[in-house]
Structure 1
Amino acid sequence: MAAGPIAERNQDATIYVGGLDEKVSDTLMWELFVQAGPVVNVHMPKDRVTQSHQGYGFVEFLAEDDADYAIKIMNMIKLYGKPIRVNKASAHQKNLDVGANVFIGNLDSEVDEKLLYDTFSAFGVILQTPKIMRDPDTGNSKGFAFINYASFEASDAAIEAMNGQHLCNRAVSISYAFKKDVKGERHGSAAERLLAAQNPLSQADRPHQLFADAPPTQMPMMHQMPVPPPPIMQPSMQVPMTMMTQHQMAPPPRIMPWQNQQAPPQPPTYQPPPPPPPPSFNSFAPPGFHGGFVPPPPPPPPSQQAQMPPPLPPSHPALPSHMQGHMMPPPPPPMTMSSGPPMPPPPPMQPNNMMPMNWKPSIPPPPPPASA
């Protein structure tokens, strides 16, 4: 597990791990980070007298992709109750404290170091693990914390955007922290900004700005219209694929003269005649017979013409058109004769003795006189 000389290390595949508890060992570091990828070696600088590590270490992976993956999944996880800081070792060597220290007050008790890191790393690179001041006996938060940024641009953006915002239902107050060596003076002075401008960090050392900076997008030109989809070709107009070359597009389909005009009317389609209605009592009615009524009976014999004719049945109003042919008319009332034999029933209807509607009864001529 002993690390070789720094010159022989693959710096691109080596990560820096900070914020380690004193109980963390080389073996534990190996077992933890081998879950992200093949580990080549682990190095934790130790004190020469006490032989205890100084709270940080280096892990070298076999490939650079494994190191990047370990940074994504292992950063800010808690080890023995303390969140660890994981980033590229090359970036750690360049990160210098420029004085962009931010004070965060009025914190809720539910806010931990990981929540602070995930929230404030969107504005720039954070050099150290966010430090929440806690009670040494109970471990409870005192309600304020400190964040050390790698540039004043990041700290200015964090103060401008997050001051007065709610974090776990409490509005936090953000400002530059007071300096330790100078009483009553805050960080962010003109002298600190001038020194920080002389040693700026490269853009490659700012991976967390992906959260704050949107990726560049190409705006569409206003004068360019979207290309419409190609029209669907008819089977008779399809072009075989063998006639199309790699740099030659298929010719557009031939436009018929009527495609830009109103479509011609469709010719009338032939419809078969409706089926004949079911036979009914008026199926043999002559032309001009309507209403579904039975014609009057034939006139009585001449010998009974002197008697009173039977009363005619009351006339019925005309039925609606949708009800014609579906109702049976009432039968004629029975005829009562004062004298003489009863009237015979009317003969059944036959197709050849049906009377038209305009038929009127007439008195037949008298019989010829009998010869002597």
Structure 2
Amino acid sequence: MTTRIAPGVGANLLGQHSAERNQEATVYVGGLEPQLSEELLWELFVQAGPLVNVYIPKDRVTGLHLGYGFNEFRSEEDADYAIKVLNMIKIHGKPIRVNKVSQDKKSLDVGANLFIGNLDPDVDEKILYDTFSAFGGIASNPKIMRDPDTGNSRGFGFISYHSFDASDAAIESMTGQYLCNRQITVSYALQERHQRRAPRYSSREAFGCHKSNFPEKQTSYSIRKRPTNCSSS
């Protein structure tokens, strides 16, 4: 039976669940409008294939979602298909970005190092890891710079990803977000990001995204609506 991660389990998804999640079948969805819900995201993406779960992280202080989410499909093929037909489609007039969460180890970028500033004193390395590991493979554990005498945080730290796709997603989604009680800054550290590819904008209009509008795909299953036992956010 198709299931969905219930709202309010962000700690599990960002922490231990990220290791259990099928990365090859999971897509990152960025550029989400504040009014977009997990239920709406489910209804849109289930048209590309059966889903295992949908999750949109929320700010711990404000309760508002952070503008991105994760959709795990049953198969890698369905995840690839979702990227093909839904990347840059418009929802409420704004294009969303759909990328693969998994990383190809044969083509890893090097030097995707991020500077994270204006950290709350209560933010530790575990909080940084649990938050930023959602965007991709971590090349080295987060490091918060501390006063050598007191051990107190100096208000900034560093984290390194295996790829620039992951670090780009982290910058786009986390810049200006709150961790504990402070609005953080996220930027590249030490090295310049290689030139970004120009964004691809589609003329497809949201939200009339029905299966009949999608490119034809051979499939042995029928499209299923979100099960009624899924709780609302």
Normalising by the smaller structure, the TM-score range is 0.3 to 0.5
Structure possessing the higher relative contact order (Cα contacts under 8 Å, 6 or more residues apart): 2
TM-score by length of 1: 0.26
TM-score by length of 2: 0.41
